[in-house]
Chains A and B, each alone.
Chain A
Amino acid sequence: MSYFSHFFGSLLSTLRDVLPIAIILFGFQLVILRKRIPNLRQILIGFVFVLLGLAFFLEGLEQALFPLGKLMAEQLTAPDFLGTTGGGDGDWAHYLWVYVFAFAIGFSTTIAEPSLIAVAIKANQVSGGAIGTWGLRIAVAIGVAVGISLGAYRIVTGTPLHYYIIVGYILVVIQTVFCPKTIIALAYDSGGVTTSTVTVPLVAALGLGLANNIPGRNPLLDGFGLIAFASLFPIMSVMGYAQLSEWRARRNKRSRADNERN
């Protein structure tokens, strides 16, 4: 019985998220555009699917994955596990498993992120299949994974966040100059889509756990910043992915031309 009431709560809160969007969409459609919506029935059914799907998704995450993920983040950053009971020397190399966990959890939650799936589907459609859904998603996931491990390293060492971010921006600008122009907008977008429903709660738990347990860190000041890393690095990895595929296509063309000449 408590399962049902809990699920009902999830459904209600999802409804509250969807309602303003539905009001804006249908309001503009009816008052400004004054046009009948084509396939209205199908679109309404789609909305119901989205609503139910999101409610199930969140309910499942809250019931299973979040408590366990948060527990693991706490266990991995607990002084007993780290061997830093009684002060600790703040040496970053003690935390090897934390970085591995940060990488793994960043990668795996990004693969399951619904908004990234949505963008990948659209990008695949629009590019006529040139951008593979899995290629894009894996590129983004690698970016998030690297970003979160580096973010964990930053919390451990306590270096100021903005240095990393500014250097990251400079790298993004340099890559922008050299990467294929068609991918730029998509790459910039992939920074924003990576961090939502699945990633944020787990990553935030990791950040707070680290900042709480490492001597000399303040959870309020040092616990933030992981999400910023997770939205910066995918930009680089997606542009890198595009550069790599372009380079491979060029090499293939050249070797084919060589073969024909011989």
Chain B
Amino acid sequence: MLESVRDLLPIIAVIAFFQLLILRQPIPDFGGLVIGTILVILGLTLFIHGLKVGLFPIGESMAHDFARKGSLLWLLAFAFALGFGTTVAEPALIAVADEAAKVAATGGMIEKSEAAMQSYADGLRLTVALSVGLAIVIGVLRIIKGWPIQYLIIGGYIGVVIMTFFAPPEIIGIAYDSGGVTTSTITVPLVTALGVGLASSIQGRNPLTDGFGLIAFASLTPMIFVMGYGMIL
């Protein structure tokens, strides 16, 4: 509880400073603000506790079990399902996809009708979810084979830069942002536990150097795929 208070102190300080000293505006609905802050602190405390007793243990125990079972195919299927399933319903992604459809309609890339925009947004969401599924698969393969992460990521950067030159300019900002919004609060701890669990149950892998990196792939591939989506449509 105390830790959560400390985690939130900076935000409270920033808001108070700007509100009182720079903008000099009264704070609207002060009571609601206090209740809201208490809810946030309570929520963060519960979440971190749940993380330690629930999400981390199950992520790691499943990683161990998959490593012991030795079936690469099922492990990769699990990795894909986790990446795809957690991304396709992600609220931040839904918001970005709707925004992107508006941009595309304004730019004249698609028709300016409700149906065309909806199908564009749905297609974009599916594209991003597929790319995150693929990213987790590549990341898991990397942990198993022990490939150094930097070559893969630098290769991905080169891919992003090349795509940037060919993609329609309207889509670039959204594509770059989509890398950041895909990884949600529940996905990150699970995927991290999966990576670290795998790296610690495979001989010769170091959980620190090999276990991390799954999130990095998940925030790189959507950029390439979204620009690709913009080019095809």
Contact = CB atoms under 8 A, between A and B. Distances in A.
B50 A28 contact: no
Given A50-B186, A60-B43, A192 B179 contact: yes
B22 A166 contact: no
Interface residues of A, number: 102
Interface string B1-26: 00000011011011101110011010
B183 A13 contact: no
B110 interface: no
B185 A197 contact: yes
Interface residues of B, number: 107
A64 B32 contact: yes
Interface of A is mostly: helix
B149 interface: yes
A199 B48 CA distance: 18
B127 to A, nearest CB: 17
A162 B131 CA distance: 21
Interface string B114-152: 000000000000000000000000000000000001100
Contact of A13 (B49, B50, B91, B169): B91
28 contacts: A21-B187, A24-B82, A28-B81, A49-B50, A50-B186, A52-B50, A53-B47, A53-B50, A57-B44, A60-B40, A68-B27, A68-B33, A72-B19, A112-B10, A114-B44, A115-B184, A118-B189, A119-B215, A122-B56, A126-B200, A185-B208, A185-B216, A188-B153, A188-B215, A189-B212, A189-B216, A225-B173, A227-B177
Interface of A: 13, 16-18, 20-21, 23-25, 28-29, 32-33, 35, 37-39, 42-65, 68-69, 71-72, 75-76, 81, 97, 101, 104-105, 107-109, 111-112, 114-115, 117-119, 121-123, 126-127, 161-162, 165-166, 169, 172-173, 176, 181-182, 184-186, 188-189, 191-198, 200, 220-228, 230-231
